[in-house]
Amino acid sequence: LEVFAETPAVLVPAAVPGQDWTQAWQGDTWTASLPLSPERGASPAHLPLVLAPEGRSAGDTPQGWHTVAAVEGQWSRAAPLTGVSPALAAALAANQQASQPLAATGGALLTALLGGLMGGLLLNLMPCVFPVLAIKVMGFARHGNHQRAQRLGGLAYTAGVVLSFMALGGLLLALRAAGEQLGWGFQLQSPAVVAVLALLFTLIGLNLAGVFEFGQFVPGRLATLQARHPAGDAFLTGVLAVAIASPCTAPFMGAALGFAIDMPAPQALAVFAALGLGMALPYLLAAWVPAVVGWLPRPGAWMDTFRRAMAFPMFATVVWLVWVLGQQSGIDGAGALLALLVAGSSVVWALTLRGRTRVVMVLVLIAFTAWLASAIGPHITRPLDTPAPVANTPGAAQWQAWSAERVAELGAAGKPVFVDFTAAWCVTCQYNKRNTLADADVLADFARHGVTLLRADWTRRDSAITAALAALGRNGVPVYVLMAPGRAPLVLTEILSVSELRAALATL
């Protein structure tokens, strides 16, 4: 007879009768000695078996008997779990070691630090930072020729910028270590963060416009805190500058960030600190060079006019943030945010009133704002059900939505591809999109060389885009890549120029 056990990994499979095991008949009793599997991990009390005649021909009808044998006595000790082969163990160890960030060599670390320093320095030229420039100019003018106050303010501002960059970088590294697929500017991929920033800039704009003073809402001792401790005010200005500028990626900055992400945490944080130092460096140097202060007009009435004028860049920033939220949560989310900003502004206005009118108006408007937030607030954080469409202007080149599969398909077909890694919250991306990428000569070159245009929109969190950026050695946007069959991907600069892009297309 042939014996088949239904319980897996108990008997040796495909054992040959007469060679691997023995059987015998004694009258009407059949006995067999069956070999146990060396990989047996179970010791069942009953063993289902199928017995079949041995030596059946191909044309015979299959026959067999199913029985359940009760196990008597004690099973021998079950075999331990099969060990890992030496080759597999070595491969697993190598993989684990490869997944850990490798310490950079001295030269590589120095290159990353210099790249971060230069990137931070150039970050001051990005449109994101313009509102903060106004605040810093007012800070210099307020201190006048008080050299000690200028230097203390410069050091405090630098500390705020550097520590904020390190805190943001540390949070990014921690989230990535926890398995999140994130990159630089990840905080603005959250609609809640965008809404909070819009509220913050609305309040700053109202303050600059003279609608209210922060000192009106706090006790007198706290109200004079800014005047008594200007260094603290300068530190908070540095924190605000990082909050505004963090979505931007300046030249040199993209490569430095991509390099930092793959470093051990101490080296990566050093690169983030270099970014912060580069961004704060112009103000730090200006605070320590008396000639810079001499270029500014003496404190006077012009400062009040300048302050009120600077409210408009703040409100422009709010408009941009509302537009960003619209890309993330749709028109309902943007409308809800606008309504809440108006309601919140009315509460601030009511706080400037006096007497019983102030109490009544504040209570009524706070209650109304709370009700409005509960009614329409969820629209702000509710993501769109469908991805944001790829924008195409009439008569311009047709952009397609990026996907790794689409890139592979076009590569297999031997077609060149240009990929625009972008985001709505990236001001540099929007500038390049409306200038270099909309240039008539550039579009003609794209068409002449048969280049397929793909746009990877990173406005919302997308792990596939994050992985694609990491493969290119980048960790933020903008990133522009020209791909052609048989060639390595060509990564262009963040501030994309027409001449650079046309020169790259000419090589196809």
Q: What's 26's DSSP letter? A: E
Higher-pLDDT residue of 65, 354? 354
Count of CB atoms situated within 10 Å of the CB of 170:
14
Task: Please give the Cα distance from 145 to 200 (Å, whole number).
Answer: 31
Mean pLDDT for 17-34 is 76
Mean pLDDT for 305-317 is 86
Higher-pLDDT residue of 392, 435? 435
Mean pLDDT for 314-325 is 90
Express each pLDDT in 202-235 by its tens digit.
998 898 898 888 666 655 555 555 556 678 878 8
Query: What does pLDDT average to over the chain?
Result: 80
**One-letter amino acid for residue 343 of the chain:** A
- Strands 399-401 and 46-52: what pairing? unpaired
- Buried/exposed 55-84: b ≥16 CB within 10 Å, e otherwise: eeeeeeeeeeeeeeeeeeeeeeeeeeeeee
- What local confidence, expressed as pLDDT, does residue 159 receive? 94
Q: In what order do the strands lie in the sheet with 417-422?
A: 399-401, 452-457, 417-422, 479-483, 490-492
- What local confidence, expressed as pLDDT, does residue 379 receive? 92
Quick one: the chain helix, strand, coil %, rounded to 5? 55, 10, 30
Task: Please give the Cα distance from 211 to 363 (Å, whole number).
Answer: 19
Omega of the bond leading into 478 within 30 degrees of 0 (cis)? yes
Exposed/middle/buried for residue 213 (C-beta within 10 Å: 0-12, 13-18, 19+): exposed
Residue with tokens 């004079």: 224
Query: Is residue 147 scored above 60 in pLDDT?
Result: yes
Instruction: Give residue limits of the domains in the chain.
Output: 2-70, 103-381, 399-505
Q: Which fold has domain 399-505?
A: Glutaredoxin (3.40.30)
Name the token pair of 477: 């946007």
Name the token pair of 3: 């014996």
Query: Is residue 8 scored above 90 in pLDDT?
Result: no
Angstrom CA distances, 209 to 212, 313, 314, 315, stand at 8, 11, 10, 10
User: 84: Cβ–Cβ under 8 A, 6 or more apart, which residues?
Assistant: 92
**One-letter amino acid for residue 72 of the chain:** E
Query: Is residue 20 scored above 70 in pLDDT?
Result: no
Query: Is residue 250 scored above 70 in pLDDT?
Result: no
3 pLDDT tier (thresholds 50, 70, 90)? confident
- What local confidence, expressed as pLDDT, does residue 395 receive? 46
- What local confidence, expressed as pLDDT, does residue 282 receive? 86
Express each pLDDT in 66-101 by its tens digit.
777 777 777 776 555 445 455 555 654 555 454 445
Task: Please give the Cα distance from 505 to 508 (Å, whole number).
Answer: 6
3-state secondary structure of 491: strand
3-state secondary structure of 453: strand
Find out whether 171 and 180 touch, Cβ atoms under 8 Å: no
Task: Please give the Cα distance from 294 to 347 (Å, whole number).
Answer: 41
- Buried/exposed 16-31: b ≥16 CB within 10 Å, e otherwise: eeeeeeeeeeeeeeee
What percentage of the chain exceeds 70 in pLDDT?
Answer: 76
Name which of 200, 212, 204 is nearest 346 in CA terms. Answer: 212
- Max Cα separation, the chain? 122
Name the token pair of 399: 């952009």
Q: Which of 12-21, 65-74, 324-333, 449-458 has the lowest mean pLDDT?
A: 12-21
Which one of 57-61, 396-400, 450-454 scores highest in mean pLDDT? 450-454
Q: In what order do the strands lie in the sheet with 2-5?
A: 2-5, 46-52, 65-70
Angstrom CA distances, 458 to 126, 247, 262, 481, stand at 19, 11, 21, 15
Mean pLDDT for 156-176 is 89
Task: Please give the Cα distance from 366 to 345 (Å, whole number).
Answer: 11
Express each pLDDT in 329-371 by its tens digit.
999 999 999 999 999 999 999 998 988 999 999 999 999 999 9
Mean pLDDT for 483-505 is 91
Mean pLDDT for 128-138 is 67
400 pLDDT tier (thresholds 50, 70, 90)? very high
- What local confidence, expressed as pLDDT, does residue 81 receive? 46
Residue with tokens 């007469």: 18
Name the token pair of 29: 């009793």
Name the token pair of 18: 């007469």
Task: Please give the Cα distance from 474 to 486 (Å, whole number).
Answer: 22
- Give the DSSP H/E element, type plus range, for residue 275: helix 265-288
Residue with tokens 């550097």: 162
For residue 31, what are the β-bridge partners?
24
21 pLDDT tier (thresholds 50, 70, 90)? confident
pTM over 0.75: no
**One-letter amino acid for residue 187 of the chain:** Q
What percentage of the chain exceeds 90 in pLDDT?
Answer: 29
**One-letter amino acid for residue 495 of the chain:** I
Task: Please give the Cα distance from 261 to 264 (Å, whole number).
Answer: 8
Mean pLDDT for 368-391 is 81
User: 136: Cβ–Cβ under 8 A, 6 or more apart, which residues?
Assistant: 157, 237, 283
